[in-house]
Amino acid sequence: MLFNPSLSVTILGALSLLPTVRSSPLLSLSEQSLNKRISFEGSTSITLALNADFPDPAFVQHTDGSWYAFGTNGNGKRIQVAHSTDFVSWNLLDVEALPTLSGWETEPDHWAPDVFKRSDGKYVMYYSAIVSSNPNRHCIGVAIADSTNPAGPYIPTSTNNPLACPLEQGGAIDANSFQDSDGTRYILYKIDGNSVGHGGDCNNSIEPLAATPIMLQRLSEDGVTPVGDAVQLIDRDASDGPLVEAPSLVRAGDGTYLLFYSTHCFTDVKYDVRVATASSITGPYSKNGVSVLALNDQLYGPGGATILNDGNMLFHGWCNGNSVRCMYAAHMDVSGGSPFVE
């Protein structure tokens, strides 16, 4: 059993935490809600998985059954790696998963990695990085582990090109790997329209608002080579605030496609996880408007989630006096079209 519903998690007051976040959060709610003891007793499977800065987590299961999680740059690493044998308690590893860069990218940002195991047994990582020729844009790169160790190191593919890079629309971030039931591989990502926005909340709350569509690109079995053109699955609307981002696609037990995503600016108390559903992978997707994870007594700005077909889920939320984004683990019921955190 992965999750003990009576498990309690405690944040012990104001631990002074390590490094600073990439931009200071402008949170408007008091910090009290996170300074009290956090307890998830009874109601859900949510646990504080890693009490450290580890935003935008994704994960993969190793052949030995243990789990590896990957997070946005922090704690002195470009791409962070954590390990767990039970999916509940995690250890931050002292490894650099991405020791070398590709020709198109530059420091410092390395955001929202995603890793999957390919049919040849190798682990493949997608990540977002700054485009060296255009430092206001991020695009999505690919790196492959040179062994069958999920912790890496991951070496960028030799093409020296990003996998997705729509510069005029704002670049691309937040890659998510998906393999359909027929074996077809896809990558999802967000077109980062905020970077061509006109200011305000996450640079995109002043009219005219830029589009921030979630795209689906079919790939060949190597996970690297695009097949055909990307298609748009959803875009932001007024109820989403400045953006939608952080896609994570799941095929529910009944065959429904569940597209999880975050809305609002990541520094906003309204940052959350929502779901849109479709009966075909390319859509049309309908948003149900409900947050499957949102601000509550225990969680502050939860989002950036990754959910796999078995319902295992990692996401981040502000913690330690809202100074960093910690990693949380949960289990989602994905048996049908109305998923919920168990």
Ligand X SMILES: *[C@@H]1O[C@H](CO)[C@@H](O)[C@H](O)[C@H]1NC(C)=O
Residues that bind ligand X (CB under 6 A): 136, 194-198, 203
Please give the positions annotated as active site.
Answer: 56, 245
Q: Closer to ligand X at the Cβ: 194 or 277?
A: 194
Q: Is 62 exposed, middle or buried (0-12, 13-18, 19+ CB in 10 A)?
A: middle
Minimum CB distance to ligand X, residue 266 (Å): 13
Minimum CB distance to ligand X, residue 180 (Å): 34
Residues in Cβ contact with 327 at an 8 Å cutoff, skipping those fewer than 6 apart: 48, 49, 50, 52, 54, 57, 69, 71, 82, 90, 314, 315, 316
**Which residues on adjacent β-strands are paired with residue 314?**
306, 329
Minimum CB distance to ligand X, residue 210 (Å): 8
Q: Tokens representing 338?
A: 């109305």
Q: Closer to ligand X at the Cβ: 42 or 208?
A: 208
Residue nearest to ligand X (CB): 203
Q: Closer to ligand X at the Cβ: 102 or 203?
A: 203
What separation, in Å, do the N-terminal and C-terminal C-alpha atoms of the chain show?
13
Minimum CB distance to ligand X, residue 106 (Å): 16
Q: Closer to ligand X at the Cβ: 213 or 223?
A: 213
Which letter does DSSP use for residue 195 in this model? G
CB 128, CB 175: distance < 8 Å: yes
Q: Closer to ligand X at the Cβ: 105 or 192?
A: 192
Considering only the C-alpha atoms of the chain, give the largest distance between any 2 of them, rounded to a whole number of Å: 52
Using DSSP's 3-state secondary structure scheme, residue 83 falls into strand
Minimum CB distance to ligand X, residue 198 (Å): 6
CB 247, CB 259: distance < 8 Å: yes
What are the start-end ranges of the E strands in 192-298?
A: 214-219, 231-234, 244-251, 257-263, 273-278, 286-293
